[in-house]
Structure 1
Amino acid sequence: MASSRSPFFDTATTLGKVVAFFGIAALCGALAAGLMLPLGMVGGAAANTGSELLDNLPAELQEEPLSLPSTVEAADGTVLATFYAEDRTPVSLDEISQHMQDAIISVEDERFYEHGGVDGQGLARAIVNNLTTSTQQGASTLTQQYVNNVLVNYQNLNDLRTTVSGQKTVPDKLREMKLAVAIEKEMTKDEILEGYLNIVLFSGRVYGVEAASRYFFNKNAADLNIPESALLAGMVQSPNALNPLNNPEAAKSRRDTVLYTMLNNDKITQEEYEEAVASEIVTDETPVRSGCASAVAGSGYFCDYVQRQILADPAFGPDADARQRLLDRGGLTIKTTLDLDLQRVAAEQANQSVPREESDDIGAALITVEQNSGNIRAMAQNTAYSSAEGNGNTTLNFNVDKQWGGGNGFQAGSTLKPFVALAWLGSGKSMRDQVDASRDFYANGTAFPAYCRPGGATLVNTDGDGWEVNNAIADMKQRMRVDYGLFWSINTATVATAYATDLCAITDITTAAGIERADDDEPLSPQRPSFLLGAEEVSPMTMASAYSTLGSGGTYCEPRAIAEVTDGSGNSYEVPPVQCNSNALNSEDISELNHTLKAIADERIALGSINYDIAGKTGTNNFESSTWFIGYTSQLTTASWVGNYRNLQALTGRTIGGVTYDDVWGSLIAGPMWVDYMSQVADQYETNTLPDTGTGNPRSR
């Protein structure tokens, strides 16, 4: 039926018409007896008079789409998680067992196919009962109940505050009757029955007969037998009180009452009745969990990231509350970029490398992005997405920035060094050129070139006398080639490279590659030279995207999780498209840099175990509480991180995955996890040769 401006009408005006027609005394008398309409409207010709009166009342029922669950799907359409305020799966009437149809009509409205929306005989029966007994009996038809549920649905979707359920006033009941009569003129009986069975509450947040059938019996509504149908039909009277899982005796008693009405209405035979009444209630509880905690394939954290993206996007509503309501009720289908094959392997590998049962403070994370699109193909960690107490339970997403559910990030360590080398190459130098890595102290006031800073420099300014730089490997404070310093991750070589280049040129490159702080999303600042050695906290997703710029030969793509969103009505929502800058970094410089990064990945990390081109860099932070390896093939980039996510306590001496580490390096912890994961998944995508114009052996000084 067509929508109108409002689902409600002026009840005061309507009540005034009724009072004027029947007289105040008659109406008040009827109300005192628990009636909704006077006796003159309940039978024969008088019933027609009542219908004529109702015809003069406004008929305005604003129908909204049913509140439907939203699903988050992987790229292949597999459902990762479901969100709902009401668990409902609409089906057509021919997909509902005839037994179920007979049961609901028999117990709720046996004259459903005879009345015009308001049942005069039912009203008369209720009047007599309410006048002569201490019990109260209602007379709402299925059509009236459908109207009431439509109004409730409208209220929920539009966040209104109305009286459409519970204790109804006279105007409420009159409105319900009027709208029922109007609906009977616009819809067929089968359409009304179908609508009712799809909208009505059965228990908790389970709405509609299909969802109820799946929840209680793990079967489709089309397959419901006689006792199952009677059980569900009986529940609509009091959904929670008659839940067979909580109150089996009350549920069985009500079921048997429904069976008796079915027998009286010739919907079942005496034999079928006796057999059904004698049967025990047998359920197969199969709930559909709502939210990210039940996401499949360890995708709870990715699901959480997607949810946060939806709630932050004005395309889905004017504010966060409206967007959450749409997510819970709008029947959205959110197709994501996640590759379920990669996700499963990543989740398994993260937990295998760092078993969550071993500790409640050591985390492991793997995130894979695709170079040419920024599409996130996997996002996993070793913990369980849960707010419950217990080792390995957390809702903190290690892979993302603070605003997307992560923490303050982790120090990048030596994973930042390739971008220093790129600035060196961009100044016209070569990876084979030498720097003075013997210098290990820069006094306060030492000027590092920084063209974008006041005076064209950044001055060292520490709490002590200056900045002391040390190396993890002994006897490395000497002159050396830049490629050699990068291969062995020599801090003094990196700082010397930056001192001979320009800090602003370096941060220009890190900004172009999307590197920003995890806590405030600000780009790295040339004001603090310590950023050169990875002192700033970043997220694995940020670093994976930055390294994908190297893997692509200079194209930076914004990380992207959502590919397409449609709602239950088929409407499409605007989502961020693939956003890439094809000239973010210099491709020729990357080709030369690849020579060193390929050697690191192949010789120090994979140890020759991977037969296609890989490149990347290790990293360990100052406190030895975080280790990294970030590496790429020609199409995929993966950041691997293992560290203490609760504090900066060192991993030295800790047992991780059955191995006790006396030394902590990215090549010893995060690197092997990267190899174990990528060796299983990388060849599902292109693994072409990475451009390499470098010369010489970076292992040799």
Structure 2
Amino acid sequence: MLKSNPVLSKLLAFFGISALLGALGAGMLLPAGMLAGAASQVGTEMLDQLPAELNEEPLSIPSVILDQDGNEIATFYAEDRTPVDLEDISQHMIDAIIAIEDERFYEHSGVDGQGLARAVVHNVTSDTQQGASTLTQQYVNNVLVNYQNLNGLRTTVSGTKQIPDKIREMKLAVAVEKEMSKDEILEGYLNIVLFSGRTYGVESAARYFFDKSAAELNIPESALLAGLVQSPNALNPETNPEGATHRRNLVLGNMRNQGKITEEEYDEAVASEVTLDLNPLPSGCYYAKDGFEYFCDYIQRSILADPAFGPDRESRQRMLDRSGLEITTTLDSELQEAAVETARRNVPAGENEGVGSSIVTVQQNTGNIKAMAQNTDYEVGDDLSNGETSLNFNVDKDWGGGQGFQLGSTLKPFVAMAWIGSGKSMRDRVDASRNNYDGARFPAYCLPGGHARIGSDGWRPKNAIADMHKPMRMDYGLYWSINTATIAAAYNTDLCAITDITDAAGITDAENNEGLDPSNPSFALGAYNVSPLTMASAYSTLGSGGTYCEPRAIESIVDADGNEYTVPPIQCSPGALNPENIKELNNTLTAIASERISQGRLNFPIAGKTGTNNFESSTWFIGYTSELATASWVGNYLGNGQDYTLRGKTIGGRYFQDAWGSLIAGPMWVDFMEVAGPKYGTDAFPKFDGPTGNPRDYSAGSSGSSNSGSNSGSGSNSDSDSGSNSDSDSDSSNESDDNDSGDNDSSGNDD
């Protein structure tokens, strides 16, 4: 009988090159006719030219996105694999794989000459074909395939191998046996081999098929998995239970014959039914934790845009799918779950076509995103139902969002900041009686000529609250969101001074990521389309006392080998806005938030501003505590025009004759902050040392009689938001729509 010889050079000497080629053909299951003339193609010198070292790459391991506390949000993988030590694999599994794949594993040195000879005899005398690859050779082959996959090379899998491929595999197997112990080879094999579909390695296979660890596998389960490696897809027990059972029983027979199990254990295992407890590992943001999909999408796009993870998008995706990245984010899952529940409850997805809601929260002094939620279901494709979209309402177009939403009156606090910065006070009067700016020249130091001029079509901003065309204190005008007061303040300040402030607060349009254009005075009434994340970050500058921090979502990234990757650090600009001016402004913004929005529901200091755009198709409340800034948005994400208005709709069980930020987005903000506020700091805002007054009291400090009527009382919470008197793409000569929905200040309606 031919004796097993582990050394390839001795094997060549024993067989001769022609005999070896025949044996290799048997190992590769090649018909004998294909080997004719092969000896002339392969010489001993070929072996000397083949590499003696195995090119290894890290195993493809799934990457995970985690929240700030290490809880899993989503998984990405090309190959579902969880490497484990050999000691963490059931001995039954070890015995099963050796019994069926390489019974002399502990006897040979990489190549089994006896197995080759047996395969030659079998293949010559039988209609069936038999292979002779050892576990070491299979390990080598899997390592080569892994290397080829990661480097975009030709993959030499079974059925496609040529003679040189097989010889190379054998030589490398001998080399591997000299460098690695048997247990190391076995551990490597059981972690790299394919079991089914995209499930690689015994730990992932045990979880997938039986929802248990590899250490817990019993005899029949181990035999089933060991049987799959021959033909993972054809023998899949999900689709071919009969074939999988037959193969399992063959493995069990080998285990019995080799003394790994007793006759009794064999009989019991063969008689057992194949019982699966399938637990597939989903991959990608579509399968992220419910309600976390859009944040996951934002993280994925951040990775794919970062050159630190590869020279192009394809290589970065490959790293995300294969490198075992542990991506720890800034997300607070408790706040995220509250935001998702609040957004969905207040604005049920699909209740009205195109009506969406979003809540996004950033932490002041870090820029860390703590929540990013919306009401819709995350779906990708063209055939989407109402309430389904992959559009992330919270972010700019470059990060998976759309064109953003018109700001409305949420921009007015920054106009007020410029007013204060020019040396005026919120107690000073502004001439809100003027509503005709035809041909007006607005100061704008950064523009040619030092001004922006209204065109020949003119501009006549309107107010929705009656009797508001009159001089008034600036704080009163901001409290009731009077358009003519805001425009008068801009006219008596400088448009470029306003955009200097909005630039410092990070306000850019969502589509082009450009700052606001001072050449169009209507920007002061919120004509631009901006994302909720941008506005939450802008308002965090007010909440922090003047420090702007760029929003960030990733705390750290570490790969499977412990290598750390550089992520965007906390990037803050202290003093971006004047802290003393913010203190004065806060006197008005705290009154708006506490009196008109919270109405006693929140027992900690808050500040913020409402906003509603043209035609009431977008509504806002953006508010902050001493530590968190949150943008709450409700609107139609399909468009801004009259056809997309929220007026006259039933939303979340409430009918809205008028749709203002104080009526929809504001209450949603309060619902969320009941959870979010107490978890983080809610200190009192620094007090302004100068004189202040009650911003809703028209008469104090103002000349003339009070004409505020019922609209000046604390209980008359009309949201006098302008949004804008023009569409966001119009020039400086715009006029509001006839019913003045751009002002959204209808009098006599309580919030």
Instruction: Give the TM-score of the pair, scaled to structure 1.
Output: 0.93
Q: Which residue of 1 aligns with 2:476?
A: 484
Per the TM alignment, residue 676 of structure 1 is displaced from its structure 2 partner at its CA by 0.5
**1:698 lines up with 2:695 in the alignment:** yes
Q: 1:76 aligns with which of 64, 69, 84?
A: 69
Q: Which residue of 2 aligns with 1:43?
A: none
Q: 1:453 aligns with which of 447, 453, 465?
A: 447
Q: 1:496 aligns with which of 484, 488, 500?
A: 488
Residues in 1 aligned to 2:19 and 2:332: alpha-carbon distance in whole angstroms: 70
- Amino acid in the other structure paired with 1:674: W
Residues in 1 aligned to 2:25 and 2:337: alpha-carbon distance in whole angstroms: 65
Report 1:23-42 matches (<5 A): none
Q: Which residue of 2 aligns with 1:10?
A: none
Deviates more, 1:67-76 or 1:350-359: 350-359
Fraction of identical pairs, as percent: 68
Question: Secondary structure in 2 aligned to 1:666?
Answer: coil
- Amino acid in the other structure paired with 1:448: F
Q: Which residue of 2 aligns with 1:411?
A: 406
**1:425 lines up with 2:426 in the alignment:** no
Work out whether residues 152 and 165 of structure 1, in 8 Å CA contact, stay in contact via their aligned partners in 2: no
Q: 1:603 aligns with which of 595, 598, 617?
A: 595
**1:569 lines up with 2:561 in the alignment:** yes
Residues in 1 aligned to 2:338 and 2:540: alpha-carbon distance in whole angstroms: 20
Residues in 1 aligned to 2:600 and 2:344: alpha-carbon distance in whole angstroms: 25
Per the TM alignment, residue 53 of structure 1 is displaced from its structure 2 partner at its CA by 10
Shift in CA distance, 32/284, structure 1 to aligned 2, threshold 3 Å: closer
Work out whether residues 55 and 178 of structure 1, in 8 Å CA contact, stay in contact via their aligned partners in 2: no
Residues in 1 aligned to 2:155 and 2:527: alpha-carbon distance in whole angstroms: 56
Per the TM alignment, residue 346 of structure 1 is displaced from its structure 2 partner at its CA by 0.6
Q: 1:635 aligns with which of 621, 627, 632?
A: 627
**1:190 lines up with 2:187 in the alignment:** no
Per the TM alignment, residue 166 of structure 1 is displaced from its structure 2 partner at its CA by 3.4
Question: Secondary structure in 2 aligned to 1:334?
Answer: strand
Shift in CA distance, 229/534, structure 1 to aligned 2, threshold 3 Å: same
Shift in CA distance, 34/272, structure 1 to aligned 2, threshold 3 Å: closer
Per the TM alignment, residue 135 of structure 1 is displaced from its structure 2 partner at its CA by 1.9
Question: Secondary structure in 1 aligned to 2:662?
Answer: coil
Residues in 1 aligned to 2:512 and 2:76: alpha-carbon distance in whole angstroms: 29
Deviations along 1:76-97, one digit per CA (max 9) or x if unpaired, are 0101111100111100011100
Q: Which residue of 2 aligns with 1:542?
A: 534
**1:359 lines up with 2:352 in the alignment:** yes
Q: 1:674 aligns with which of 651, 661, 669?
A: 669
Deviates more, 1:136-145 or 1:535-544: 136-145
**1:239 lines up with 2:236 in the alignment:** no
Work out whether residues 369 and 544 of structure 1, in 8 Å CA contact, stay in contact via their aligned partners in 2: yes
Per the TM alignment, residue 638 of structure 1 is displaced from its structure 2 partner at its CA by 0.3
Work out whether residues 297 and 343 of structure 1, in 8 Å CA contact, stay in contact via their aligned partners in 2: no
Report 1:264-275 matches (<5 A): 264-275=257-268
Report 1:385-400 matches (<5 A): 385-387=378-380, 389-400=384-395
Per the TM alignment, residue 588 of structure 1 is displaced from its structure 2 partner at its CA by 0.4
Shift in CA distance, 416/175, structure 1 to aligned 2, threshold 3 Å: same
Q: Which residue of 2 aligns with 1:5?
A: none
Report 1:137-536 matches (<5 A): 137-387=130-380, 389-443=384-438, 445-461=439-455, 465-536=457-528
Residues in 2 aligned to 1:33 and 1:439: alpha-carbon distance in whole angstroms: 95
Work out whether residues 356 and 637 of structure 2, in 8 Å CA contact, stay in contact via their aligned partners in 1: yes
Question: Secondary structure in 2 aligned to 1:623?
Answer: helix
Deviations along 1:399-428, one digit per CA (max 9) or x if unpaired, are 000000000000000000000000000000
Per the TM alignment, residue 683 of structure 1 is displaced from its structure 2 partner at its CA by 1.2
Shift in CA distance, 163/395, structure 1 to aligned 2, threshold 3 Å: same
Per the TM alignment, residue 266 of structure 1 is displaced from its structure 2 partner at its CA by 1.1
Superposition RMSD in Å: 2.2
- Amino acid in the other structure paired with 2:443: P
Question: Secondary structure in 1 aligned to 2:518?
Answer: coil
Matched residues, number = 671
Residues in 1 aligned to 2:59 and 2:26: alpha-carbon distance in whole angstroms: 36
- Amino acid in the other structure paired with 2:604: Y
Residues in 1 aligned to 2:25 and 2:378: alpha-carbon distance in whole angstroms: 56
Residues in 1 aligned to 2:170 and 2:353: alpha-carbon distance in whole angstroms: 60
Residues in 2 aligned to 1:461 and 1:286: alpha-carbon distance in whole angstroms: 66
Residues in 1 aligned to 2:388 and 2:44: alpha-carbon distance in whole angstroms: 61
Q: 2:123 aligns with which of 130, 145, 148?
A: 130
Residues in 2 aligned to 1:586 and 1:684: alpha-carbon distance in whole angstroms: 28
Q: Which residue of 1 aligns with 2:652?
A: 657
Residues in 2 aligned to 1:357 and 1:407: alpha-carbon distance in whole angstroms: 19
Work out whether residues 343 and 379 of structure 1, in 8 Å CA contact, stay in contact via their aligned partners in 2: yes
5+ unaligned residues in a row in structure 1: which ranges?
1-13, 40-49
Residues in 2 aligned to 1:581 and 1:570: alpha-carbon distance in whole angstroms: 32
